[in-house]
Chain A
Amino acid sequence: MILLEATLAGLVLGGMYALVALGLNLQYGVARIMNLAYGEGVIVAAFAAWWLYTAGGINPIFGLALILPAAFAVNWLIYRLALTPLVRRAKLREQLEVDSILATFGLLFVVQGLMLVAFGGAYYSYGFLSVPVVIADVTIAANRLLALGFALVLGLALYLALTRTRIGTAVRAVAVDPVAAGLVAIDVRQVAAASFALGGALVAAGGVLVSMFLTFNANIGVVFTMKALIVVIMGGVGNLLGCLVAGLILGLTETFVATWVDPGLTLAATYAIFLAILLVRPQGLFGRAAR
């Protein structure tokens, strides 16, 4: 009984992690930007959804329709204004990696500082659709099911867009080899900017969905960044299916540890998984070996 309940809660959480990590996979796998400010997107979007709901009475699902395009635009601007100079400057991929880590580490503190000034360190939440639903003797809040449903829809839409459309194929080509992609007349810069922005939109979606059922404050963005990074590595960089599986594994592990061991040890459990992956399969569960 508890097992079923924990499994369902773990799947919901894991679905969120997978969605958030999908966006990071686009930013890192395609645009080659290692974005340490990534998790701040979760928090900004969560606060935006909270504000729309409490001040404007707009429910988070409609909020999603407003926040997603806004997040896409903001992230596109960030890439164009802040990250393009670094892309131009970097001669090697490693150099861009280091520079983007440093620049986004600075950005992390700026965004976090702005959030702290605006909202303080207190925890926020709002009650949207928190009615119990009973599925096969297990009770779960409707907002969690809705969040999981939306995460699945968004993930599936991304998968189809990447595998079935021309633009999606171009994105995958840039992920595999930016230089060769340029040779076959793909505008690598545009594709990279669009992928970065799309990644930002996905993390915002994750933030809105998470805000429906979790409490959040201005400081927890870092934890989401960390988890998204671990999921991306565990699934293998550039591997969407791996991302989904790894996200679910992480969500289930955390929920099980929180249920049967201690809620204070969830991050330790996450790190234990990370350590195991690094020691046994650093290329990820489904990644190909690469040096």
Chain B
Amino acid sequence: MRRGAVIVAIAALALGLLAFVPWIADGYQLSLAIGILNYAVLATAWTLFSGPTRYVSLATVAFFGIGAYTVAVLGEVLAWPVVLLIALGTGSVVALVVGFATLRLSGVYFVIFTFGLAELIRQVVTWFEVNVTRTLGRYVFVDISQEQIYWQLLGLTALVFGAGYAIRRSRLGLALRVIGDDEVVARHLGIGTTAAKVALFTFSAGFMTLCGAIMAPRWTYIDPAIAFNPVVSFQVLIMALLGGAHRLYGPLLGVIPLTLLFEFLLARFPNHFSILIGLAFMAIVYAIPRGITGLVEQASARLRRGAAP
């Protein structure tokens, strides 16, 4: 119990300090900080579901894009909180449908479904825009500054971590860990496996959608190809795996170095970017399958064994 209080206190302190960043940072640093927070939210939200259940979701950008596109369509018409709520609702409904269709079955169906989901939504939105509204591509005129985006993302980060912490301690979190270890055992224990998985998937997707909505005003122009860019899903996956998906704070350890690395790579080698991140990802899968946190835990376990012979 005391350890929990210490963690909460440290997190609150870090959050309080981070809130001052917009006053010290220049424009470039602030945009870098926004990038890091963006991926911190996405990768942690990804881990909320995929960490305990070990169901690899490849659809991060589908939800991110739903959020961003909702802002592009409704941003000028409605008040900001209402827009965020509508985005959240849309993302959650899509997640529920996907969840109920695929999460009753084994993990591979889910992976396949999420693999094409972003492309499907992109094509449907494109079709709708071309044929019904006849405007492909929209300008986002919302009166929200970079600083406000930063603070909103910081708040969302706090929410994601808070939610993750609470879930881990709840019956739902325990149920999901049992499912991740052995789904048959989980069913025999009387856990409603489908309901638990769908609930958490929807929850995780909700955070991704909100993140996309908050990030949307950063682009002044959005079209479906920008909003549903598959590289985003891929980057989130790399970051979460590098950090280690079995710990709540794991993804953060992957997000910070990789956001900086990708920023550098994108500036230096824009044409070879996808080759480089593909290779980086394969290296991670082969060399450190349990991520940085896994490495650290392994090393400390070995030290402890060495100390007590």
Residues 72-129 of A at the B interface (beta carbon under 8 Å): 82, 85-86, 89, 94, 97-99, 101-103, 105-114, 116-117
Chain A residues near B126: list those with CB within 8 A: 264
A229 at the interface (CB under 8 A from B): yes
Interface string of B112-143 (1 = CB under 8 A from A): 11011001100110110011000000000000
Residues 81-138 of B at the A interface (beta carbon under 8 Å): 101-102, 104-105, 107-109, 111-113, 115-116, 119-120, 123-124, 126-127, 130-131
Docked-complex contact B105 and A278, CB < 8 angstroms = yes
Docked-complex contact B124 and A265, CB < 8 angstroms = yes
B18 at the interface (CB under 8 A from A): no
Please, how many angstroms separate the alpha-carbon atoms of A73 and B124 in the complex? 39
Q: Return A170 CB to nearest CB of chain B, in Å.
A: 25
A233 at the interface (CB under 8 A from B): yes
Docked-complex contact A117 and B272, CB < 8 angstroms = yes
Select the stretch in A13-21, A200-208, A218-226 that faces chain B: A218-226
A268 at the interface (CB under 8 A from B): yes
A34 at the interface (CB under 8 A from B): yes
Q: Return A271 CB to nearest CB of chain B, in Å.
A: 5
* 6 residue pairs from A and B, CB less than 8 Å apart: A109-B281, A113-B273, A117-B271, A222-B230, A278-B105, A278-B109
B161 at the interface (CB under 8 A from A): no
Q: Which residue of A lies closest to B105 (CB)?
A: A282
Chain A residues near B127: list those with CB within 8 A: 262, 264-265, 268
Docked-complex contact A97 and B120, CB < 8 angstroms = no
Docked-complex contact A97 and B119, CB < 8 angstroms = no
B262 at the interface (CB under 8 A from A): no
Docked-complex contact B119 and A262, CB < 8 angstroms = no
Residues 29-67 of B at the A interface (beta carbon under 8 Å): 54, 56, 58
Residues of B bordering A, CB below 8 Å: 54, 56, 58, 101-102, 104-105, 107-109, 111-113, 115-116, 119-120, 123-124, 126-127, 130-131, 230-231, 234, 237, 241, 271-279, 281-282, 285-286, 289
Contact A267:B131 (CB < 8 A) given known A99-B289, A109-B277, A113-B273: no
Docked-complex contact B275 and A278, CB < 8 angstroms = no
Contact A106:B275 (CB < 8 A) given known A264-B126, A264-B127, A268-B120: no
**Besides A98-B56, A264-B131, A278-B101, 10 other A-B contacts (C-beta < 8 A):** A97-B107, A107-B278, A109-B278, A110-B278, A113-B274, A113-B276, A116-B274, A226-B116, A268-B123, A271-B120
Docked-complex contact B109 and A109, CB < 8 angstroms = no
Interface bin, chain A: 35 or more
Q: Which residue of B lies closest to A110 (CB)?
A: B278
Please, how many angstroms separate the alpha-carbon atoms of A78 and B171 in the complex? 43
Chain A residues near B277: list those with CB within 8 A: 109
Interface centre among B111, B112, B279 (most CB of A within 10 A): B112
Docked-complex contact B275 and A102, CB < 8 angstroms = no
Chain A residues near B102: list those with CB within 8 A: 278
Residues 45-79 of A at the B interface (beta carbon under 8 Å): none
Docked-complex contact B115 and A36, CB < 8 angstroms = yes
Please, how many angstroms separate the alpha-carbon atoms of A271 and B234 in the complex? 21
Chain B residues near A282: list those with CB within 8 A: 104-105, 109
Docked-complex contact B237 and A105, CB < 8 angstroms = yes
Q: Return B113 CB to nearest CB of chain A, in Å.
A: 7
